[in-house]
Amino acid sequence: MERFWNYIYYSIYLFESNITLFFRKILNFIFHPLTRISYLKNNLEKRGSSFEDIDNVAIRVLNDPRYGKSITIAGIQMGGLLILIEYSLFNFLQVILDKSLIQYVWGDRIYRWIFLIGLLIIPGIINYILLWKNDKYLEYFKKFEKEPKSIKHRWCWISFGVVIGVIFSLALSFWLVTELI
């Protein structure tokens, strides 16, 4: 389970990294005329830098697997997937019991807070244990980077299927709740 969850995390991280590179290319295209201004170019060269150096540093910082923007967004998405799974299970439980429980949850302040805290704490604990404890994900990322492209592509498709499956499960659970209760 740990390896599976880390593969999904890695695939989401790669997706975020590629999106970042895509937007950097768009920004470079838009701001390309600024790089032609000789005053700016000369001042950067005097300081031992260039627009390319700045861009490379920005990409390294944004896609740093330890503290970058891409890993942060991937972590948020991993938590979001678990929250969607939890809410789907809650809806399926309502269907199995043939009883609407949501009015009990939202009707009482204490139950509301217990529900919301549980909805957020459980994914945090699961992700901490499977991904972030002792930076476990970094070890998996190193292993995954050494694997052949065919395996990476397969896992990207599996990860995509898991994400679509979770979204489909949530939609199905809402449909069942509205139709059967």
pLDDT tens-digit readout, 24-70: 888 888 887 877 788 878 887 888 888 788 888 888 888 889 989 99
- At residue 31, the pLDDT reads 80
- Output the pTM of the full model: 0.84
Helix axes 69-97, 149-180, angle to 10 degrees: 40
Kind and range of the H or E element at 37?
none
Q: Considering the chain, what is the average pLDDT of its residues?
A: 90
Instruction: Name the domain count of the chain.
Output: 1
Most distant CA pair in the chain: distance in Å?
A: 73
Range of the domain at 21: 2-180
Q: List per-residue pLDDT tens for the chain, 181 residues long.
A: 899 999 999 999 999 999 988 988 888 888 878 777 888 788 878 888 887 888 888 888 888 899 899 999 999 999 999 999 999 999 999 999 888 888 888 777 888 888 889 899 999 999 999 999 999 999 999 999 999 999 999 999 999 999 999 999 999 999 999 988 7
Tell me if residue 65 falls in helix, strand or coil.
coil
Q: What is the pLDDT of residue 24?
A: 86
